[in-house]
Amino acid sequence: MVRITLKDGSSKEYRKGITVGEVASDISKGLARAAVAGQLDGQTVDLMQPICEDASLNILTFEDIEGKKAFWHTSSHIMAQAVKRLFPNIKLAIGPSIDNGFYYDFDTERPFTPEDLEAIEREMEKIIKEDLGLERFELPREEAISFVAEKDESYKVELIEDLPEDSVISFYKQGEFVDLCAGPHVPSTGKVKAFKLLSLAGAYWRGDENNKMLQRIYGISYPKKSQLDEYLKRLEEAKKRDHRRLGRELDLFSILEEGPGFPFFHPKGMVLRNILESFWRSEHTKRGYEEIRTPIILNRDLWIRSGHWDHYQENMYFTNIDDGDYAIKPMNCPGSMLLYKRRMYSYRDLPLRMGELGLVHRHELSGALHGLMRVRCFTQDDAHIFMLPEQVKDEIVGVIDLVDYFYKQFGFNYHVELSTKPEKAMGSDEEWDMAISALKEALEEKGMDYVINEGDGAFYGPKIDFHLEDSIGRTWQCGTIQLDFQMPERFDLTYIGADGEKHRPVMIHRVVFGSIERFIGILIEHYAGAFPTWLAPVQVRLLSITDRSAEYIKELASDLENAGIRVETDLRNEKIGYKIREARLQRIPYMLVVGDKEVESRQVAVRSRDEGDLGLMNVKNFIGRIQKEMSERT
């Protein structure tokens, strides 16, 4: 017999070898129908997994993150099986689940067409109706290489050859289709009730531009058609909100051929950017941060000392100055280390909070670039906090409160993930355990729910990541808090303790916006370009009905500007309806229509982007309305 402890803390004995799916059936028939995978002692497994010793078990449905991954991973296998049925000579590369669906990379000489995607979808429907069971089997490494070589799957051979010689290699079989795979998967193809192939893209094998370009098919799938319909509806809405299109239409920014991945901000985009930076500076000053600025280029020795040379070199740009090797900074932290070292601090000086809006450069493959969301240079709203060990929890709580305050100003909900030690990391397990415990304690003190993201920490320490949810339900990773015991050691940072001896400070890396550029891209899509009044690059546009109102409009514009309101005038000899439509397309919060009646009464006819016609209004009252919206950030 084995004792199985469930998520709610209850436990029960079962016969040895019972499967995860059988336990789900024993708990509830409804749960068994919804189940897609299980978590056995924290590891995600198939429902077919036998349980041979005492364990904790969590039954996963599609609503769980790991459940979605298993569901979408199976969907990628269904797609690959359909492709192989239709195009037997195509070679398979990889086909993982991703944050929103799945993809599979194929090596084919003939590019896929939209008609091919339709044919693949029809074949996938057949495979789903066949309700093929997924069976896992394992082979020793050499047998596995022979097995995939016989199938002429050279990419699979390469993947297996990269594994240790004593590895046991797992495969999954569904009908005639077999794929190299670690799993887990749902029990059968029939579980996938609704799906859609979304797009085609090129992708270098293993992300290396020196390798062959493969063809990637993206898709999405759900247990219910209604869920798919809702997703596709959101996808259409997302296209309307695409920040690249709106950035061009609203004259905010551009990405030019002369600088791929290096955005140009236009005057209106700079207004928006400066508002965000001013808000950042104001709130950080209130919370005891001191602003610094560190150089963009620093020498090789610094990056070796920080660990970036060994752990991050492939993402960096380099240059040679006076016969010496230098790097353009991909991160701001080493510069902050040098500023800390400029003097000796006492324990009474800590915590020390250094904030920096620092421009960094990171090498991204051209295929990965995406508007403001993925660029090669961006401004991180960094801060580095140096503290005593006993101050760690309070400082983390303070950063959590700051992040929460910021996101509420923009109307964002968010969820939190705690990322643990990655495979490539600095420091001992003991140091990592201490750091992870400190982050957990802070989250639990705040009563915050969080998800453990195993192995996704920074190379120097664990981190808390904040994932924003925008107005159409998409999530974006922005803020992060990273606890670091390594960098103070590598830079020999010290302070004088109460005992008069030197001690090592603990350090936090943190960002709130993450990247100013990316945050602007998220805001454009979140608001669909219709920024709230306090953020709008142009808050008011004055529209003339006749030439006779020109002088009054100029007087009004001056009054509004003196009141701190961002204003434009439209005195063109065009119909007023045309002017109003154009202002609405520019998503300007307020339009003031001025004709003979308004000139005579010394008032303004107010049209709101969100509320429509507000009628005549006293100029002073209108200015008060705008100023209230700005001060309250409504």
Residues acting as catalytic residues:
333, 362, 380, 382, 384, 463, 509
- 3-state SS of 100-117 is CEEEEEEECCCCCCHHHH
The DSSP annotation for 427-493 comes to S-HHHHHHHHHHHHHHHHHTT---EEETT-SBTTB-EEEEEEE-TTS-EEEEEEEEEESHHHHHTT-
Structure tokens at 575: 């119909």
> Amino acid identity, residue 274?
N
Burial (0-12, 13-18, 19+ Cβ within 10 Å), 26: middle
Location of structure tokens 């939209």? 114
The residue among 499, 510, 401, 428 whose CA lies nearest residue 463 is 510
Question: Do 374 and 368 meet the contact criterion of CB atoms below 8 Å apart?
Answer: yes
Q: Find how far residue 235's CA is from the centre of its chain.
A: 17
Question: What is the helix (H) or strand (E) element at residue 632, kind and residue range?
Answer: helix 619-632
Q: Is the peptide bond before 295 cis (omega within 30 degrees of 0)?
A: no
Sign of CA dihedral 60, 61, 63, 65: positive
Structure tokens at 530: 């219709």
Rounded to whole angstroms, the Cα distance separating 148 from 158 reads 10
Question: Do 234 and 101 meet the contact criterion of CB atoms below 8 Å apart?
Answer: no
Query: Phi-psi region for residue 447, left (φ > 0), alpha (ψ -120 to 50) or beta?
Result: left
Question: Do 632 and 531 meet the contact criterion of CB atoms below 8 Å apart?
Answer: no
Rounded to whole angstroms, the Cα distance separating 368 from 124 reads 29
Burial (0-12, 13-18, 19+ Cβ within 10 Å), 137: exposed
Query: Phi-psi region for residue 455, left (φ > 0), alpha (ψ -120 to 50) or beta?
Result: left
Structure tokens at 520: 């602007």
Q: Find how far residue 206's CA is from the centre of its chain.
A: 21
The residue among 131, 147, 235 whose CA lies nearest residue 191 is 131
Structure tokens at 264: 């140009």
> Amino acid identity, residue 103?
Y
The DSSP annotation for 220-252 comes to EEESSHHHHHHHHHHHHHHHHT-HHHHHHHTT-
Going by the DSSP 8-state scheme, the letter that residue 374 receives in this structure is B
Rounded to whole angstroms, the Cα distance separating 239 from 235 reads 6
Structure tokens at 548: 């006779």
